[in-house]
Chain A
């Protein structure tokens, strides 16, 4: 009996120790950098067309955008594909990577852990169903089986409508697998970023799919650059982002990637 107690205690102590080690370095740097130092951006480059790997080169809207911002700020920088988890933990520590650039949505829950730059991208979600489906709006999804990518705005929105622990809300590691699930008949609809849905429907005409835009229930969400709590970098990035949004450079990059004009009024007025 004594050995069992010891084991349980050892397990709990180990758990807490790891927790302390993991979190102890959180306030070590806060992403503050010396003048002239190269700013390191971590990214999960698996979200085309926002950020993706073209063989060994990282490309995408976010990459072109940050280039314009850093030129405006007059700072050296580098973006590295670290994967999602590494990005989250390293940006939180702020030592190796001082910021995260990965289409990260700004939410109140996430603001408890990170700071964000001002919003730089307005995101809207879209519903994808098979032709002839009875689903016409987001509210029709309440009793249906729905696929989303984990940790996206689509996940947040559908968690709000269906409940975060609803078994019919199926979260997949990537949008690609979620989209395949609709084709396999495992779900009635997929909710994802409008750019991703449109691209998929365009590339798969034989699958007979329809995209539904529901601006009533799917309000806009905004992407921000992820920063450690209390980062001094925010004071340098925010004015540069604002300048890029206002001087036409942003609209130029946006048109290159999405073929249309951005709604700059929404973006500049977003909180």
Chain B
């Protein structure tokens, strides 16, 4: 059989290293993206249009442009301007966090707005402040509804992190391409990468199912 397992075995240590970086970048980006997204989501629900407008623009920009373009803008524009030079790892965290924040913001906003207005009115009539109503009544109900969409966003982010290889972030896809380049073989690198991504995302979706059931 013309399938070179020896190539895969030879590359396993660096593929493992790349996988760890993929997990790390995705995890940090989803955490930072969620925190940013929560703020942006609330911003988009502001009562005045001119308060909502900047958040509306942010979300539409990041949802309306390809991630690959955002990565290049962050890597060759934003990071050198702030950090002084390009930095692949920093670019990965920043680009993926900013992108994820836009999607998370919409998930948070949709989740909160899906809770019936009567819930807030009931909380206020019991003497709660608006903040208390949000914290104790609205958010606990909304979070349960947000989990499936949020889980989907996390899975998409893990896969999207592969695009960071274009600026030489040394994650899983980067080493897959290196392996392909060294041996000029397609199936061994890509099938191995596919299997690793599948294991990552499937495990993640199972984990999120458990979280969803417990809430």
Interface size class of A (residues with CB under 8 A): 35 or more
A92 contacts across to B, CB distance below 8 A = 186
A169-184 toward B: CB 8 Å interface, digit per residue (1/0)?
0111100010011001
Say yes or no for A89: interface residue by CB 8 A criterion: yes
Q: Name the B residues within 8 Å of A181 (CB-CB).
A: 86, 167-168
Interface string of B183-208 (1 = CB under 8 A from A): 11111000100010011001000000
Question: B80: which A residues are within 8 A, CB to CB?
Answer: 184-185
Report A-chain residues with C-beta under 8 Å of the C-beta of B177: 150-151, 171, 173
A23 to B211, CA, bound (A): 41
B88 A15 Cβ-Cβ under 8 A: no
Contact residues in A for B56 (Cβ distance below 8 Å): none
List the B side residues contacting A7 at CB < 8 Å.
202
Known contacts A150-B177, A150-B181, A184-B76; decide if A18 and B14 are in contact (CB<8 Å): no
Query: Which residues of chain B are within 8 angstroms of A172 by Cβ–Cβ distance?
Result: 166-168
Compute how far the CA of A211 lies from the CA of B184 in the bound complex, rounded to whole angstroms. Answer: 29
Interface size of B as a range: 35 or more
Residues of B within 8 A of A109 (CB): 182-184
- Docked Cα-Cα span, A11 to B198, in Å, equals 9
Judge whether A18 and B191 touch: CB under 8 Å: yes
Interface residues of A in 180-213 (CB under 8 A from B): 180-181, 184-186
Determine if B52 is an interface residue (Cβ-Cβ < 8 Å). Answer: no
Say whether A23 contacts B187, CB under 8 Å.
yes
Assess whether B184 is in contact with A110, with CB atoms less than 8 Å apart.
Answer: yes
Residues of A within 8 A of B113 (CB): none
B174 to chain A: closest residue by CB:
A171
| Contacting residues, chain B, for A11 (C-beta < 8 A) | 195, 198-199
Set B84, B165, B181, B185: member contacting A155, Cβ < 8 A? B181
Complex: A177 Cα to B167 Cα, angstroms = 7
A173/B195 in contact, CB under 8 A? no
Chain B residues near A171 (CB, 8 Å)? 168, 174, 177-178, 181
Which of chain A's residues have a CB closer than 8 A to the CB of B198? 11
Give every chain B residue within 8 A of A152 (Cβ-Cβ): 181
Please tell me if A165 contacts chain B, counting CB pairs below 8 Å.
Answer: yes
Contact of B184 among A15, A27, A88 (CB under 8 A): A88
* Residues of chain B at the chain A interface (Cβ within 8 Å): 1-3, 13-14, 17, 75-76, 80, 84-88, 165-168, 170, 174, 177-178, 180-187, 191, 195, 198-199, 202
Q: Which 9 A-B pairs have the closest CB atoms?
A: A151-B181, A185-B85, A186-B86, A184-B86, A170-B168, A22-B187, A23-B2, A165-B14, A89-B186
Task: Kindly list 6 other residue pairs between chains A and B, CB separation below 8 angstroms, not including A23-B2, A172-B166.
Answer: A7-B202, A114-B184, A151-B184, A164-B182, A177-B166, A184-B80
